[in-house]
Structure 1
Amino acid sequence: MLEEDRRKPPERYQLPAAKGMTSGEGFAYNFIIHQFLVRHLPINRTKEIDKAMAIGQFGPALDEVLKRKGETRGTAGAVAHVDASLIGKIVKGTRKPSKEVMASTAKHYDDGQLYIAAAGEVTGGAFAPWLNNVDLHRASVLFKTVEEMKEVLALTSEAPINKTADQLTESDRKIMKRLLMETVEAITALTHFAAVLCKEYSFSWLATWKEHRADLKAKKYMK
């Protein structure tokens, strides 16, 4: 495929303009764009895109949380035992946050967005990205989450899950990859839905996951 052809989306992949999209369509708009770019841009460009999405989310997330709660960078600095200027650099993206700063501020503000952003930073992007340019109204997120889950369930009927890896044909592998990507998209949607529920109805993100872990241990799913 020629370089210029890689940048021109096939007709079946052409996306609607962001303007005029419904709230449900808007939720996954950025994620869909990323998936298109991964499939159609050269490998070196997709690596740059992944790096940009994965790194640097904590600063903007912290800034948003502080504005939402009406607190200053100085307050956040006191929580993290650093000065306000360092918090300012983290927010602006000129300084990478330390694990200690992320852990202390995330725990103090107990905000799902902060925890998700911190996980993205620590893992280098091997976690659900926070979608910071979409409609996160609880109804919109619920609609999109259900849609993503249905897509996973629909694809499971096609997936040759009874086969081992060495038994898969090339066609089988394509189906399994589709199932994997649909699963990841569903995880992203569900993660946002959990964060929105916590925010909207004042549930603790940290306590929710502690309760979940305790339940898994009680069921012997974890040692």
Structure 2
Amino acid sequence: MKKSQLTHAMREVRNGQTQEQLAMELNVSRELVSKIENGRVEMAPDISRKLMKRKGSPRLAMALRYEYTGTGTTLLNGPNVDLHRSSVREKTIEEAEEFLAALKAFSFAKPLSNLSNWERPELEKTLEEGVELITAIEHLLLIVCEETGINFTDVWQNHHTQLMAKGYVQ
């Protein structure tokens, strides 16, 4: 995701607010909001956390994750993408089936450090299918959260709470 997508996401989360209003909400200067929106300054982690907590925007979450880590889903916005909830649902099912088939076809029985020259590309293909599924799922979450007004951050917080309750994280 390019900084322009982070810039676009920042403008979207303002949702009619002025830069001054958002700055007051975040307890920063309007000038800082402007510099972040125009890509002249990187958003500090504390500001990004405040913004995500207040706005819960999946588009902003995608942009921030890519900005900070260089990994994660990129917002699909090309000429061949259809982000209607039904299309995204169908694509998610398709990608899930392809990943499951690739996962079933690859054997994880031996140590991965001992893969043969022909097994490694098969594993890489399985990983690529996994990334395609993650992209589809994240877009499904994005569309559903946006259409329903469900806060994306709350969805993840609820998930984290469940993981803690099950003893998977501390």
- Please show how residues 1-223 of structure 1 align to structure 2 within 5 Å: 53=1, 57-66=5-14, 69-123=15-69, 125-133=70-78, 134-223=81-170
TM-score by length of 2: 0.87
Does the CA-based 8 Å contact 1:56-1:121 persist in structure 2?
A: no
Could you tell me how far 1:128 is from its partner in structure 2?
Answer: 2.1
Q: Secondary structure at the match of 2:118?
A: helix
Shift in Å, 1:141: 1.4
TM norm structure 1: 0.68
- Provide the rounded CA distance (Å) in 1 between the counterparts of 2:25 and 2:88: 31
Q: CA offsets per residue over residues 42-79 of structure 1, 9 Å max, x none?
A: xxxxxxxxxxx36554222111232xx22222222122
In structure 2, distance between residues paired with 1:196 and 1:178: 27
- Percent of aligned pairs with the same amino acid: 32
Aligned-residue Cα RMSD (Å) equals 1.9
2:41 & 2:32 partners in 1: Cα distance?
A: 8
In structure 2, how many angstroms separate the alpha carbons of the residues matched to 1:196 and 1:185?
17
Q: CA deviation at 1:222?
A: 2.0
Amino acid at match of 1:196: I
Q: Which runs of 5+ in 1 are unaligned?
A: 1-52
User: How many residues were matched structurally?
Assistant: 168
Report the CA distance between 1:182 and its aligned residue: 0.9
The structure showing larger relative contact order (alpha-carbon pairs under 8 Å, at least 6 residues apart) is 2
Compute the displacement of 1:88 (Å). 2.1
3-state SS of paired residue (1:74): helix
Give the Å deviation of 1:148: 1.1
**Contact 1:80/1:101 (<8 A) preserved:** yes
Secondary structure of the 2:95 match is: helix
